[in-house]
Amino acid sequence: MSKRIHIEDTLFFLQSRIKLLSEGLMLNLEPDLFLESYFQELDHLQSSLAYCISAIQENEKYIDWEEQVHNLLDIEDDLETLINNLIQGKGTLGAAFIPISEKLELYKVSSKDRKTQLERLLALRPAEQDSGMVVSPQELRELLQD
């Protein structure tokens, strides 16, 4: 992947979109106006999260790699909650999703697959050692000699 991805900002924005969609379920929105846009947004979130996971897999030397993998897991949890709320028909808009819940189930499976992929990434990566500089006694004596 030759493109540079600004992972922190991208993840923040994706998280914000999920939060906005979740908050929309608490409002009395007209399904005729928003149902299609919710599906488009969910499709976009699915592809964006897959892209971010691919980018983070290819760049394991990224300074905050582990933190960003955990952030991706948190986003997947929030997305799964949103999808579950839609499947359960929460809010006036959520009720409109009940007849077409098969697609939501596919989104849910995809989210679980991505979470499994992220958990495997964390499991395969050796635990990070304390990166604090350790100076041996011999090196300290050499450094202190003039």
- Mean pLDDT, to the nearest integer, of 60-77? 88
pLDDT band at 130 (very low <50, low <70, confident <90, very high): very low
| Confidence (pLDDT) at 1 | 39
> Could you give the 3-state DSSP secondary structure of residue 21?
helix
Asked whether 76 and 110 are in contact (CB, 8 A), the reply is no
Task: Give the mean model confidence (pLDDT) for residues 71-91.
Answer: 93
What is the pLDDT of the chain when averaged over all its residues?
Answer: 86
Cα separation of the two ends of the chain: 49
pLDDT confidence band for 135 (50 / 70 / 90): low
For the entire predicted model, the pTM comes to 0.79
Closest CA to 14 of 75, 68, 61: 75
